[in-house]
Amino acid sequence: MASKTISFTFKVDDTLTNVTSAKLSDPTGAYGVKRNDTDAVVVADDTAFTHDGTGTYSYEFDEPTTGLTYTYWIEVVYAGRTYRWEKTTAGTVAIAATAAAGGDKLTFYDAMQHVLDFARDHGAMPTKALVRRVIQRAYDEVVHAHDWTFLHDIYRIQAYAAQTSGTVAYDHDTYQLTLSSNTWPTWATKTYGAAVLVDDVICDVQSRTSSTILTLSLNRNPGADVASGASYTLFPRWYALPNDFLELDHPVSETLFNFGKKVSLADIAARHRFVTGTNEIQYWAVGANPNGGMALHVHPALDQAYRLDVPYKKRPSELRVDGLNSNHYAGTVSTSGSTVTGSSSAFSSDMVGAMIWLREDSTVPTGVDGDTPYTEAHQISAVSSTTSITTETTMSTLSDVKYRITDPINLERVAWDAFLQCCEKQLARMRNYKEYRQIEENARRALRLAMAADHTASPRQTIGASRQHYRLKDMRSS
């Protein structure tokens, strides 16, 4: 049985201070800790905290099961006054045998089954197309409802120093820029956002034809021949951001204390035109990547190479593979290492990133709540053909077993219940269920609880090993 520890510290004027008493007790005297799915009491009202040290208190309890969220009230008496505050925390996440291989994930198939079951309970059978639309809308709703900590990541960019040594000549008939007394670096391509300042004109590089010849863009070039012996500056105008990029926090350099100022893309373009020379990054903006997606645009051209760490908010992957189409479980598979070989299978490129569920018998696997739950789950890293895929992790060696492939829902367990209840709400709204208002309120409540349980998003929600410091002015008094 898993255990959960609730901890807090008490400070007066930023000094750890002992209180007269500290206990778990809600204002109505009904509970100390309750589970949020059933409102059942987990820790009784009036349960005292353990005094761990000056101003430091904790209480450990056994969880009835894993994967729950809890609400609890802390009641403190200090200097003759009583202070209370309500908190929510997530319990221990269940670690299934397949979790290391990616099994502990909510999937598109799970969501499809949930919505179909919910519809059947209301005497309806919606089309799969409607269910997919319901799930996608609920997915978008949850993702944009809160700044979820699990949707943040860090992307590393290798920023290159500008090159100026040597001289160039430009032939406008061929759009070729030829370098003398040096060679073009391998990053001098369109893929890396390479640009060259020559004859006071910023030109975009189309391709690196050879170590000494660049082909410039048809639209951004000097416009006429440039005689040999001309000076130049080669530099990247922008750096590609990851495909799942949604929003950017402030970039961080390994060596620069101050990365620079965020400005508009138009400002970056103007500065490149009128303010030349090299230096450390002084201005940056997020804008379109000419090759598709988004990019980090910087000014000026860099005087040295840097590695940039870019904290960003991720866009969840698209949901395509629902696990219900016959192509998602056609035939059988045999596994060896990280290779899956299909027989009469129909693997396709849109399955990259999806989960493959395996079951050691002749029945098609379901989720863990189904009649025939999978025994292994692995994420697909590559699809070589309709009969061959590669997984990110090593599988058990199996022969001619059934399988199912479905996309993961990129939400952590703390948001699963909110997401599924938002699915119910979206279906109820689309089908005009008479209970819509109650279903909507249930979804709102689940979403509020999920936001509160996403405690790493805010230090004020930290529970457990990390200690939260409370100030008197933050507390409710009675």
Task: Quote the mean pLDDT of the chain.
Answer: 86
- Helix-strand-coil split of the chain, %, nearest 5: 20, 40, 40
Same domain for 295 and 181: yes
Q: Which residues of 444-454 are buried (b: 16+ CB within 10 A; e: fewer)?
A: eebbebbbbbb
Report how far residue 264's alpha carbon sits from residue 252's, in angstroms, rounded to the nearest whole number. 19
Q: Is residue 468 part of a domain?
A: no
Same domain for 51 and 9: yes
Q: Is residue 303 part of a domain?
A: yes
Same domain for 370 and 282: no
Band the pLDDT of 307: cuts 50, 70, 90: confident
Task: Indicate if the pLDDT at residue 297 is higher than 90.
Answer: yes
Same domain for 224 and 160: yes
Domain finish residue from 260, 281, 314: 314
Summarize the confidence of residues 289-316 as an average pLDDT. 88
- Per residue in 74-122, pLDDT (tens digit) is 999 999 999 888 887 766 544 333 333 345 789 999 999 999 999 988 8
Amino acid letter, residue 178: T
| Beta strand segments in 359-408, E | 376-385, 388-391, 398-401, 403-406
CATH code for the domain in which residue 14 is found? 2.60.40
Domain finish residue from 93, 110, 132: 93
H/E element, 43: strand 41-43
Distance of CA 114 to the CA centre of its chain: 23
Report how far residue 177's alpha carbon sits from residue 222's, in angstroms, rounded to the nearest whole number. 10
How many domains does the chain divide into? 4
Band the pLDDT of 318: cuts 50, 70, 90: confident
- Per residue in 444-461, pLDDT (tens digit) is 999 999 999 886 544 333
Summarize the confidence of residues 13-39 as an average pLDDT. 90
Same domain for 306 and 193: yes
Report how far residue 418's alpha carbon sits from residue 446's, in angstroms, rounded to the nearest whole number. 5
Q: Angle, to 10 degrees, between the axis of helix 128-145 and the axis of helix 416-430?
A: 130
Q: Is residue 474 part of a domain?
A: no
The reported pTM is 0.63
Same domain for 437 and 356: no
Give the domain extent around 430.
416-453
Same domain for 236 and 123: no
Report how far residue 123's alpha carbon sits from residue 112's, in angstroms, rounded to the nearest whole number. 17
- Tokens 């863009």 correspond to what residue? 217
Same domain for 163 and 51: no
pLDDT at position 377, please? Answer: 93
342 vs 323, 329, 403, 404, CA distance in Å?
16, 10, 10, 12
Report how far residue 438's alpha carbon sits from residue 339's, in angstroms, rounded to the nearest whole number. 48
- Per residue in 376-425, pLDDT (tens digit) is 999 999 999 999 999 999 999 999 999 999 999 999 999 999 999 999 99
Report how far residue 471's alpha carbon sits from residue 376's, in angstroms, rounded to the nearest whole number. 48
pLDDT at position 221, please? Answer: 95
Sheet holding 398-401, edge to edge: 398-401, 332-336, 339-343, 388-391, 376-385, 355-358, 403-406
Band the pLDDT of 277: cuts 50, 70, 90: confident
| Beta strand segments in 148-293, E | 152-159, 167-171, 176-180, 194-198, 201-208, 213-216, 226-230, 232-236, 238-240, 245-248, 252-253, 261-262, 278-279, 283-288
Same domain for 51 and 7: yes
Same domain for 115 and 128: yes
Amino acid letter, residue 99: A
Same domain for 401 and 260: no
